[in-house]
Amino acid sequence: MKCPYCSAPDTKVLDSRNLEEGCVIRRRRKCESCQKRFTTFETVELAMPMVIKRDGRREPYQQDKILKGIEKAVEKRPISALQIERVISNIEKAILDISDKELQSKEIGNLVMMYLRHLDPVAYIRFAAVYRKFQDVDEFVNELKHDEYTQYKIMPVQPKDDSREH
């Protein structure tokens, strides 16, 4: 690692520490030339799958989209940036459990709902309302009632099967 102060090509690692249960490595480094110390953080960059949209087009997974959706859902709720970061990291792990090649955008939406339900019931309802674009009131009210009983447990959201015939 190049020194950020004097640009010397080599710096010495003084100390390595695992953070976030080993998902992040923090290193204290010292430049042998100018003697200054600095810190680096090492994280894994996961190769995320492609996302298949409703119209069949594929696009690269974009963390930013999920982040924006969640930020909107937790607006004025007592949720910290760190909590949001953790939720996103859990969602990404769950995405990779489904596939590292491609998955449907609605599967991602379902995962976001599942984790938001656990994080904050109000944020969950907000997100679900937007995401699912509830068209009838009954369905929305049913979700509300259900949520009152399950807000402190992780309950998987039943994926809505659009192709099912009634």
Q: Name the minimum Å distance from CB 33 to Zn ion.
A: 5
For residue 89, how many other CB atoms are within 10 A of its CB?
15
Cβ nearer to Zn ion, comparing 12 with 58: 12
- Applying CB under 5 A, does 5 fall inside the site for Zn ion? yes
Q: Is 113 helix (H, G, I), strand (E, B) or coil?
A: helix
* Minimum CB distance to Zn ion smaller for 8 or for 88: 8
- Helix, strand, coil shares, percent, the chain, to 5: 45, 20, 35
Stretch that binds Zn ion, among 5-13, 22-30, 62-70, 155-163 (CB under 5 A): 5-13
Q: How many residues bind Zn ion (CB under 5 A)?
A: 7
| Helix (H/G/I), strand (E/B), else coil: 166 | coil
Q: Give the integer Cα–Cα distance in Å for 32 and 10.
A: 8
- Region 6-35 residues binding Zn ion, contact defined as CB under 5 A: 6, 8, 31, 33-34
Interface with Zn ion by CB under 5 A: which residues? 3, 5-6, 8, 31, 33-34
